[in-house]
Amino acid sequence: MHALKALVIGMGILIIIGMGLVIWGFARQATQLAEKSENGPSAESPFFETSVNLPAGCELDSVKGDGQGSLLLTLQGRDGPQAACRQIILLDTASGEVRGRIQLGSE
């Protein structure tokens, strides 16, 4: 009977310690989230401000997200097809930086 009492007391102590660890973990995560929100938007934020230089006579035709942190910008000429405007620009949504440009040529 004494062994059963000791087992129940031991399990009760383990439950109390486990609940304390869970509460400590929640408090730690809440503190980290509060620190992140005080520091403003992070690099993981989808909002950015950037400037993309377009060739003269070109305008934005379409913008498409790839679902993996990039935007695809396609250009067109204002006065019809122009060789300089035949390109696709790849933007990083986290930083707003131009990752690359694809020049479209003709054969």
pLDDT digits (tens, 9 = 90+) for 21-31: 999 999 999 88
Contact present, 77 and 57 (Cβ < 8 Å): yes
50-54, 69-73, 86-90: the lowest-pLDDT one: 50-54
Angstrom distance (rounded) from CA 10 to CA 2: 12
pTM: 0.46
Enter the tokens of residue 57. Answer: 């006579």
Domain ranges of the chain: 1-40, 58-103
58-65/70-77 β-pairing? antiparallel
* Greatest Cα-to-Cα distance within the chain, rounded to the nearest angstrom: 94
Please tell me which of 32-46, 55-69, 74-88 the model is most confident about, judged by mean pLDDT: 55-69
- One-letter amino acid at 17 equals I
The radius of gyration of the chain's CA atoms, rounded to the nearest angstrom, is: 28
Q: Where are the alpha helices (DSSP H) in 39-102?
A: none
Check residue 96 and report its DSSP letter. Answer: -
Burial of residue 24, with CB atoms counted within 10 A of its CB: 0-12 exposed, 13-18 middle, 19 or more buried: exposed
